[in-house]
Amino acid sequence: MNVTLFVMQCLNGMQLGVLLFLMAAGLTLVFGIMNFVNLAHGSLYMMGAFVGALVYNTTSSFILGVLAVIPAMLALAFVLEALVFKRLYQRDHLDQVLATFGLILFFNELIRMIWGPSPYYMEVPPALSGTVNLFGIPYPAYRLLIVASGLAVALGCYLLIHRTRIGMLIRAGATHRAMIGALGINIKLLNSLVFGLGAVLAGLAGMLAGPILSVQPGMGEPVLILTMVVIVIGGIGSIRGAFLGALIVGVIDTVGRTLLPAVLRGLFERGTADTAGPALASMLIYILMAVVLALRPQGLFPVRHG
Amino acid sequence: MLTPSPSSPIVHAAAVVPAASRRPTFYTLFVMLLLAGLALVPTYAALSGQAFYVTLFARIVVFAIAAVSLDLILGIGGLVSFGHALYLGLGAYAAGVLAQHGIDNGWVHLGVAIVLCGAVGFVTGFVSLRTTGIAFIMITLAFAQMVYFLAVSLKQYGGDDGLPLAASSRFGNMSLGDPATLYYVAFGFLCLLLLSGSRFVKARFGMTLAGIRMNERRMKALGVPTLQYKLGAYVIAAILCGIAGVLYANLTQFVSPSYMSWTTSGELIMMVVIGGIGTFVGPVVGALAMVLVEEGLKSATEHWMFIMGPLIVLIVLLTRRGLMGVVHSADARRAAKIAAKIAARSKRTESLS
Amino acid sequence: MVASLNFRALHGRLGCALILATSAALAPLVSQAADATPLKIGFIGTLSGPAGALGQDQYDAFMLAIEQKGGKLGGVPVQVVREDDQLKPDIAVQAAQKLIERDKVQIVTGVTFSNVMMAIHKPITNAGVLLIGSNAGPTPLAGAGCSPWFFSTSWNNDELHEAGGQLATDLGYKRMVVMAPNYQAGRDAVAGFKRDYRGTLVDEVYTQVNQPDYSAEITQLQASQPDAVYVFYPGGMGVNFVKQYQQAGLLGKVPLISVSTIDGTTLPALKEIAVGAITSSPYSPDLKNAENAQFVAAYSQKYKRLPSLYAAQSYDAANLLDAALTTVKGNATDRQALRQAIKTAKFQSVRGDFSFDTNQFPRAGFYRVDVVKAATGAAFETKGPIVAKIRNPLAQQCKMN
């Protein structure tokens, strides 16, 4: 593997990381601030993809699709909260895990009933369907949009969390829940806001990923588990941790997938290397997470106190 | 007789009610009915000509064993392990790999499964138990995923496709390949577990573990080596689940990495919570309810997940301590009524004297 | 204290009542006794999850054939009991046990994926129940592991990919890269391809099953610059890969030959994105024979989509059973006679000519099918048959009694 290829793979890794960040940002907020385990986050990602794809396919405008996702996800978050989540905030993690697990089943089947089991058609917007020449290798233009959007969202989240009053309340909620209530802030409203923000981020992630990934029922679960690994490595409740953790996971996963089989082929015979390589690459992320948890359980970039 | 965990109201209620008027509690009745019903399944299946019932309920019993083992650390120890299905898979693979190499002696299968799960449990537990809360959940998940991907990469043992069981476990003349034999063995083991469980909860080990769950700092201050206790419970739970794995491999005649997946771990957690955490009988009820409702729904409609999902949500929202919690509440209400009656009676005798 | 207890108790009682009511309502369904009159046929397929479309096509086509014959096959009314294996071999085994023990089916058909087939093959054939596979064809079952109770109306994994390798050779690509998911069928794909491909294999890439992002592997392709790429990515994996391949600008530059990747179930999700791709397939909706013409018309009208190869193979299975059952006058209890009837059945296949080889797999052809521009976005166009020159002599390894 030469230098150019390695750099390209790192870029690929960062792009995957940015996609993961969009998912992780919402989840880490909900996890950290509301202390709420939401396994249905993957389903929110899926709903965003389908709603966005539907609007995009009927109006042929990608921008409209993206914009439509925001109110749709807010509405969905509102309904979910009123019906289910409101009663779960005070319950322990186990009950939350179970109830949201049930929601996953429900949403997957709902999508399947409406759109069928086959993948749903969604294409890249024609303006971005070309390639850009990077280091002599053509790179899909749309992926650069994903990187750009991810960075924009990261910046937006940073500004929101660290430069606005609401952000200050959110940060306070992450460090000292009880205190905020005692100071007279409307906790319920804050919770709804955070949950809504998380849902919108997840939905946008789904919409942006739609053109490059298969839009189908059950598309959320593989991303969900990876997202949970990201926020644990990064530090629960920390947006910075979600961003850096996502980049780390993305790069390691991508480079590992391409580097490991090549390295193994040098050591073992071809057949073994070709089957062990991908398996080991998958294990790499979990090994990393276990190491981080064993040595620094609060994560690599935890929420800074004080 | 079997008694619930110390934290339930029954213990207090029983102390109030005088011995003479102590009828069997709803709990006792329920457990006896449940076990009697399960014991009669093969007979019923033979009489009605539906051999399928034996395999269906064998699956329930095997999962109940796995769920009870999880309840040991989850309910009593308060350790939420999202990777418990790892041991189910390890036990199954122990049987599968040995059978593949021509060894069908059941004792060898069991022995290897116990040693393997004990060793893996010790190592992973040692690392995982240094963490708590969310970190513990995720690290147990991580270990399960690691072994899952390892199993997927083992081409000679089927990899992702799994491995048909070359030979069922044989114990002398008995073979676990026969569904009825498997059922009785599994059921017997389950009863053994429940009995030991009830003793365990009142024994020093169980009490200490519960104490650690409620306030670890206090236990440490009392000089209790908390890590040892937690690790001990974790290893025992791993071994018990491994035994369930050997049984499961014999039931399905198949071994697959999916036995270790996080969704299977999630299902085990579901059975424990829905049935009632910390009650030991709860997971049995949970396994029964989940499997039966799933089977029933599957027969009714292809969109069964559309109903199953909200059903799970409703159960979580409406029942405080799972299905067994309902039984406990019934007992608590009756005990409260009796207590009130006694109080009223003693007040009257007081006023008379 | 009592009041709050009552409130909680109400909730608890409500929850308990809910569970009991559901179980009671559903219990009769679980304990359905076998109905004697119609012939029961079990269908096991992957009907949910990312690959659910494949099993759904198989089921829909099978039911269409039955409907066209007035709810009967071979003159006898049939009842199809459907089971979803969720692409999990252990669930499939339980489903097979349920079909055989509870529903007492005489025949089982369907089966989408090879790993499921390997799991249920033994339990079903050991029980003497006929298994008519209409998609999965693991290589061992076509060779040494064959069974007299197993028939296939599709193909075995080896020959599916031998055709692909032959096509690549015929098209003159000297340096190629092969990509497949890291499971048995994927490894079979690479092995089969290598047998008939006469050029140089630059690289064999195994990706994770259901891996969403292929940017790393595609970048490798761009760096190694092969003459063409051969892939096997069924279901959602195919949609992911082809989308990303096209976005990287490779679809026009480096020819893509694929099997079971761009098919009837995934083309609607790709449409014009896949135009220019070359596929090797046992079937295409535009195959020119009378049976296929009526099949495509009827299927499109009923299900509002074109049939895929999975549908075609399953439709053939239904017609095969129809012909066999007619021969035995609807008597499915004499399994040996039924088996003989199936072996020698004469029916019109939508794939063209059809007959069974000695290992009870079809002697049927493969075609080069390209994806071309069409009014609906994209469509399949058959370019001609593929004749594999080197075949694994699997049939010779099958020793049936």
Residue A55: CB atoms within 10 A of its CB come to 20
pLDDT tens profile C2-16: 333 444 444 555 555
- CA distance between the termini of chain B: 40
Is the CB of A142 inside 8 Å of chain C's CB atoms?
yes
Residue A44 lies in a domain: yes
Domains by residue range for chain C, with CATH:
39-155+288-364 (3.40.50.2300), 158-281+366-394 (3.40.50.2300)
Shortest CA distance from A283: residue in chain C:
C208
Instruction: Name all chains with 3 or more CB-CB pairs below 8 Å to chain C.
Output: A, B
pLDDT tens profile A18-64: 888 988 988 888 887 777 888 899 999 999 999 999 999 899 889 99
Place of tokens 């003989």: C340
Instruction: Test C182 with A15 for CB contact under 8 angstroms.
Output: no
Q: What's the confidence (pLDDT) of residue C387?
A: 84
Best mutation target among B128, B270, B277, B306 (most A Cβ atoms within 10 Å) is B306
pLDDT tens profile C134-189: 999 888 888 888 999 999 999 988 888 999 999 999 999 999 999 998 877 888 89
Q: What's the confidence (pLDDT) of residue C296?
A: 95
Would you say C293 and C264 are in contact if contact means Cβ atoms under 8 Å apart?
Answer: no
Would you say B113 and B95 are in contact if contact means Cβ atoms under 8 Å apart?
Answer: yes
Phi and psi (nearest 5°) for B310? -60, -30
Query: Residue C227: exposed, middle, or buried by beta-carbon count in 10 A (0-12, 13-18, 19+)?
Result: middle
CA distance B268 to B71: 9
Chain C hits for A281, Cβ within 8 Å: 208
Residue burial B132-145, b: 16+ Cβ < 10 Å; e: rest:
eebbbbbbbbbbbb
Q: What's the confidence (pLDDT) of residue A305?
A: 54
Mean pLDDT of B107-121: 95
Mean pLDDT of B269-284: 87
Q: What's the confidence (pLDDT) of residue B287?
A: 93
Residue A305 lies in a domain: no
Q: What's the confidence (pLDDT) of residue B19?
A: 47
Is the CB of A119 inside 8 Å of chain B's CB atoms?
no
Would you say B82 and B265 are in contact if contact means Cβ atoms under 8 Å apart?
Answer: yes
Would you say B215 and B222 are in contact if contact means Cβ atoms under 8 Å apart?
Answer: no
Best mutation target among C6, C11, C19, C204 (most B Cβ atoms within 10 Å) is C19
Mean pLDDT of B59-73: 94
Mean pLDDT of C243-249: 88
Q: Among B334, B323, B288, B256, which residue's Cα sits nearest to residue B58?
A: B288
Phi and psi (nearest 5°) for B269? -60, -40
CATH code of residue A85: 1.10.3470
pLDDT tens profile A206-233: 999 888 888 888 888 888 888 888 988 9
Residue A290 has its nearest CB partner, among B142, B310, B313, at B142
Residue A94 has its nearest CB partner, among B135, B273, B308, at B273
Shortest CA distance from B316: residue in chain C:
C15
Statement: residue C25 has pLDDT above 70 = no
Place of tokens 């965003």: A48
pLDDT bracket for residue B2 (50, 70, 90)? very low
Residue B149 has its nearest CB partner, among A94, A101, A279, at A279
Statement: residue B6 has pLDDT above 60 = no
Shortest CA distance from B321: residue in chain A:
A95
Chain C hits for B332, Cβ within 8 Å: 5
Nearest-Cα distance to chain B for A106, in Å, is 5
Q: Among B80, B87, B84, B147, which residue's Cα sits nearest to residue B115?
A: B87
Q: What's the confidence (pLDDT) of residue B77?
A: 81
Instruction: Test A286 with B153 for CB contact under 8 angstroms.
Output: no
Is the CB of A282 inside 8 Å of chain B's CB atoms?
yes
Q: In 3-state terms, what secondary structure has residue C398?
A: coil
Task: Identify which of A272-281, B195-204, C13-22, C71-80 has the greatest average pLDDT.
Answer: C71-80
Residue A121 has its nearest CB partner, among C49, C204, C271, at C271
Query: Residue C70: exposed, middle, or buried by beta-carbon count in 10 A (0-12, 13-18, 19+)?
Result: exposed
Q: In 3-state terms, what secondary structure has residue C385?
A: strand
Instruction: Test A110 with B306 for CB contact under 8 angstroms.
Output: yes
Residue B320 has its nearest CB partner, among C12, C23, C118, at C12
Give the tokens for residue B290.
Answer: 């989940």
Indicate the helix (H) or strand (E) that contains C94. Answer: helix C89-97
Would you say B353 and A135 are in contact if contact means Cβ atoms under 8 Å apart?
Answer: no
Q: Cα–chain-centroid distance for residue A277?
A: 26
Angle ∠(C118,C119,C120) on CA atoms, nearest 5: 100
Residue A258 lies in a domain: yes
Shortest CA distance from C9: residue in chain B:
B329
Residue A102 has its nearest CB partner, among B132, B155, B312, at B312
CA distance A161 to A250: 24
CA distance B210 to B207: 5
- The dihedral formed by the CA atoms of B198, B202, B207 and B213, expressed in degrees to the nearest 10: 30
Nearest-Cα distance to chain A for C184, in Å, is 10
Instruction: Name all chains with 3 or more CB-CB pairs below 8 Å to chain B.
Output: A, C
Residue A207 lies in a domain: yes
CA distance C148 to C401: 7
Q: What's the confidence (pLDDT) of residue C124?
A: 93
- Contact residues of C toward A, CB < 8 A: 47-50, 52-53, 56, 182, 187, 204-208, 210, 212-213, 215-217, 219-220, 222-223, 236-237, 239-240, 243-244, 247-249, 265-266, 268-273
Task: For residue A16, give its domain range.
Answer: 11-122+138-295
Is the CB of A238 inside 8 Å of chain B's CB atoms?
no
Nearest-Cα distance to chain A for C55, in Å, is 10
Residue A6 lies in a domain: no
pLDDT bracket for residue C190 (50, 70, 90)? very high
Indicate the helix (H) or strand (E) that contains C230. Answer: strand C228-231
Residue A2 lies in a domain: no
Total-model pTM: 0.83
Residue C14 has its nearest CB partner, among B159, B297, B318, at B318
Instruction: Kindly report the average pLDDT of chain B as a whole number.
Output: 85
pLDDT bracket for residue C111 (50, 70, 90)? very high
Q: What's the confidence (pLDDT) of residue C6?
A: 44
Task: Identify which of A50-54, A273-277, C234-238, C385-389 has the greatest average pLDDT.
Answer: A50-54
pLDDT bracket for residue C22 (50, 70, 90)? low
Phi and psi (nearest 5°) for A139? -115, 130
pLDDT tens profile A119-178: 888 888 888 877 888 777 778 888 888 888 888 988 998 888 888 888 888 777 767 767
pLDDT bracket for residue B4 (50, 70, 90)? very low
Q: Cα–chain-centroid distance for residue B317?
A: 22
Q: What's the confidence (pLDDT) of residue B5?
A: 46
pLDDT tens profile C57-90: 999 999 999 999 999 998 899 999 999 998 888 8
Beta-strand ranges (E) seen in chain A are: 131-134, 137-140
Indicate the helix (H) or strand (E) that contains A167. Answer: helix A165-175
Indicate the helix (H) or strand (E) that contains C80. Answer: strand C76-84
Mean pLDDT of C296-305: 93
* Number of domains making up chain A: 1
Residue A116 lies in a domain: yes
Q: What's the confidence (pLDDT) of residue C14?
A: 56
pLDDT tens profile B203-238: 888 888 888 888 888 888 888 888 888 999 999 999
The residues in B 96-125 lying below 8 A from C, measured between CB atoms, are none
Residue A132 lies in a domain: no
Shortest CA distance from A139: residue in chain C:
C248
- DSSP letters, B143-167, are HHHHHHHHHHH-GGGTGGG-EE-SS
CA distance C304 to C298: 10
Task: Identify which of B2-6, B125-129, B158-162, C278-282 has the greatest average pLDDT.
Answer: C278-282
Statement: residue C19 has pLDDT above 70 = no
Q: What's the confidence (pLDDT) of residue C13?
A: 55
Instruction: Test C16 with B59 for CB contact under 8 angstroms.
Output: no
Mean pLDDT of A116-120: 81
Mean pLDDT of A231-247: 88
The residues in A 204-233 lying below 8 A from C, measured between CB atoms, are 209, 211-219, 222-223
Is the CB of B311 inside 8 Å of chain C's CB atoms?
yes
Would you say B49 and B177 are in contact if contact means Cβ atoms under 8 Å apart?
Answer: no
Of all residues in chain A, the percent with pLDDT exceeding 90 is: 22
Chain B hits for A223, Cβ within 8 Å: none
Is the CB of A101 inside 8 Å of chain B's CB atoms?
yes
- ipTM of this model? 0.81
Nearest-Cα distance to chain C for A159, in Å, is 30
In Å, what is the CA distance from C253 to each residue of A144, B206, C247, C249, C276?
21, 68, 12, 7, 10
pLDDT bracket for residue A261 (50, 70, 90)? confident
Is the CB of B318 inside 8 Å of chain C's CB atoms?
yes
- Contact residues of B toward A, CB < 8 A: 74, 80, 127, 130-132, 134-135, 137-139, 141-143, 145-146, 149-150, 152-153, 155, 159, 262, 266, 269-270, 273-274, 277, 303, 305-306, 308-313, 316-317
Chain B hits for C47, Cβ within 8 Å: 302
Is the CB of A8 inside 8 Å of chain C's CB atoms?
yes
Q: In 3-state terms, what secondary structure has residue B82?
A: coil
Mean pLDDT of B63-90: 91
Statement: residue B47 has pLDDT above 70 = yes
CA distance A175 to B221: 27
Give the tokens for residue B285.
Answer: 């009820």
Instruction: Test B269 with A98 for CB contact under 8 angstroms.
Output: yes
Domains by residue range for chain B, with CATH:
9-348 (1.10.3470)
Statement: residue A191 has pLDDT above 60 = yes
pLDDT bracket for residue B8 (50, 70, 90)? very low
Q: In 3-state terms, what secondary structure has residue B283?
A: helix
pLDDT bracket for residue C33 (50, 70, 90)? very low
Q: In 3-state terms, what secondary structure has residue A233?
A: helix
